[in-house]
Amino acid sequence: MPELAEVEFMRRRWDAALEDAVTSVELHPRARIFRGVDTAALARGLTGATLTSSHRSGKQMLFACGDSGWLGLHLGMTGELRVEASAYPIDRHDHLVLRQRARALVFADPRMFGTVEWTPGTQPPAWWRDRPPEIMEPAFTAERLQAFLARRAKSPLKAVLLMQEMFPGIGNWMADEVLWRAGLHPARAAGSLDAVDCAALHRELRFVCRGALRSIVRDVDGHWADPPRGWLFHERWVDGGRCPRTGSPLVRETIGGRTTCWSPALQNR
């Protein structure tokens, strides 16, 4: 479920725990979510440690745990972070529970496509240093975008927008939202865009990321808020959904291996 802004929402949930010590750790060591992780070292490193800061890059989160180490989390398709009361009993799909004096921090993920990782020591993990620029940052230029599209010339735009190495945080609904706003057909070959199309794509990528972060991160009764009215988001899963701009029927089909919703009347370039 979680894309850029939903991940940011989850990160901020755990910020309630910063500067507090972890008194104990509960986990299911054999859960697939811990594939490749030394769970004994993770439990040892986190017990008694203090969460000192939290970070996000795309859909990846990183929590600094004092001098002890770094906890990396990815929510996959169905992961979530929650804050529960200190006596909260671990539930079936909760894979990692960090207990503090005042609360319990829970990482749950029914489908276990998410990942947990632990890097001991004071230096952040190598993968964190190599993260690509966020779409909102100045380093995400139209020139970089155009060069990337040229290297994926024959792939449909929809598939290319899901590539995290260039578009960190973009997922299925955000990709559809961006292409809809840019008026670009999701099956259009990435290498066929001229400078004008490319500029439009660049502009709408930034618009959708900014708008999603501004709206979704707001807390509404313990859950994230919806994107603004008028966004494709509100129509894309509705049977008989209509394009918010043209009022014409929307179409759903598999493009780039994912269910894609688009407006034939609007996305004709």
Q: Is 134 a catalytic residue?
A: no
Please say whether the beta carbons of 88 and 7 come within 8 A. no
Residue 110 sits in the site that holds DNA (CB under 7 A): yes
Q: Which is nearer to DNA, 49 or 118 (CB)?
A: 118
Least distance (Å) from DNA to the CB of residue 26?
18
Task: Give me the 216-255 binding string for DNA, x by CB under 7 A, dash otherwise.
Answer: ---------------------x------------------
**For residues 211, 239, 171 and 213, what is the CA-based torsion angle, rounded to 10 degrees?**
20
How would you write 84-137 as a 3-class SS string? ECCCCCCCCCEEEEEEECCCEEEEECCCCCCEEEEEECCCCCHHHHCCCCCCCC
Q: Which is nearer to DNA, 63 or 167 (CB)?
A: 167
Please say whether the beta carbons of 197 and 183 come within 8 A. no
Least distance (Å) from DNA to the CB of residue 78?
7
Catalytic residue among 144, 152, 242, 258: 258
Q: Is 258 a catalytic residue?
A: yes
Q: Which residues contact 189 (CB under 8 A, 6 or more apart)?
A: 153, 154, 155, 156, 157
Catalytic residue among 2, 132, 168, 186: 2
Q: Is 119 exposed, middle or buried (0-12, 13-18, 19+ CB in 10 A)?
A: buried
From the list 252, 104, 113, the residue with the least C-alpha distance to 176 is 252
Least distance (Å) from DNA to the CB of residue 42?
19
Residue 147 sits in the site that holds DNA (CB under 7 A): no
Residue 6 sits in the site that holds DNA (CB under 7 A): yes
Q: Which residues contact 149 (CB under 8 A, 6 or more apart)?
A: 160, 190, 191, 193, 198
Q: Is 3 a catalytic residue?
A: yes
Residue 162 sits in the site that holds DNA (CB under 7 A): yes
Please say whether the beta carbons of 91 and 97 come within 8 A. no
Q: Is 154 a catalytic residue?
A: no
Q: Which is nearer to DNA, 154 or 229 (CB)?
A: 154
| Distance, C-alpha 93 to centroid of its chain | 20
Catalytic residue among 11, 56, 59, 99: 59
From the list 70, 81, 109, 87, the residue with the least C-alpha distance to 17 is 81
Residue 188 sits in the site that holds DNA (CB under 7 A): no
Catalytic residue among 3, 80, 177, 204: 3
Residue 37 sits in the site that holds DNA (CB under 7 A): no
Least distance (Å) from DNA to the CB of residue 189?
8
- Kindly list the catalytic residues: 2-3, 59, 258
Q: Site residues (CB under 7 A) for DNA?
A: 1-3, 6, 32, 58-59, 74, 76-77, 92-93, 110-113, 151-156, 159, 162, 164, 171-173, 237, 256-259
